[in-house]
Amino acid sequence: MSVVTIAHAAYSGGSAIAEKLASVVNYRSVDREVLIEASKRYGIPEAKYTEVLETQGHWWERWRESLRLYRITLQAAMCEVAQDGDLVYHGRAGQQLLPGIRHVLKVLIVAPMDFRIELVRAQQGMDVESARQYLRELDRVRGRRFRAVFNDDWQDPVGYDLVLNGARFTPEAGAALIADMVRRPEFQPTSESLKAFADLTTTARVQAALITSSKTRNVVLNVKSDGGRVSISGILADPDLEKEIVKIAQGVPGVAEVETDIEPPPIEYMHP
pLDDT tens for each residue of 108-165: 999 999 999 999 999 999 999 999 999 999 999 999 889 888 999 999 999 999 999 9
Domain residues for 137? 3-187
Of 187, 202, 236, the position where a domain reaches its end is 187
DSSP state of 86: -
The confidence score (pLDDT) of residue 48 equals: 87
Could you tell me whether strands 221-226 and 229-235 are parallel, antiparallel, or unpaired per DSSP bridges? Answer: antiparallel
Concatenated DSSP letters for 151-184?
SS-TT-GGG-SEEEEGGG--HHHHHHHHHHHHTS
The confidence score (pLDDT) of residue 63 equals: 45
Q: Are residues 170 and 207 located together in one domain of the fold?
A: no
Q: Are residues 176 and 245 located together in one domain of the fold?
A: no
Q: Are residues 228 and 174 located together in one domain of the fold?
A: no
Of 187, 203, 223, the position where a domain reaches its end is 187
Distances 272 to 63, 234, 265 between C-alpha atoms, Å: 21, 20, 12
Q: Are residues 210 and 162 located together in one domain of the fold?
A: no
pLDDT per residue as tens digits for the range 136-151: 999 999 998 898 889 9
Q: Are residues 157 and 114 located together in one domain of the fold?
A: yes
Q: Are residues 151 and 79 located together in one domain of the fold?
A: yes
Question: Binning pLDDT at 50, 70 and 90, where does residue 61 land?
Answer: low
- Model pTM score: 0.91
Say how many C-beta atoms besides its own lie within 10 A of residue 108's C-beta.
Answer: 22
Of 129, 161, 187, the position where a domain reaches its end is 187
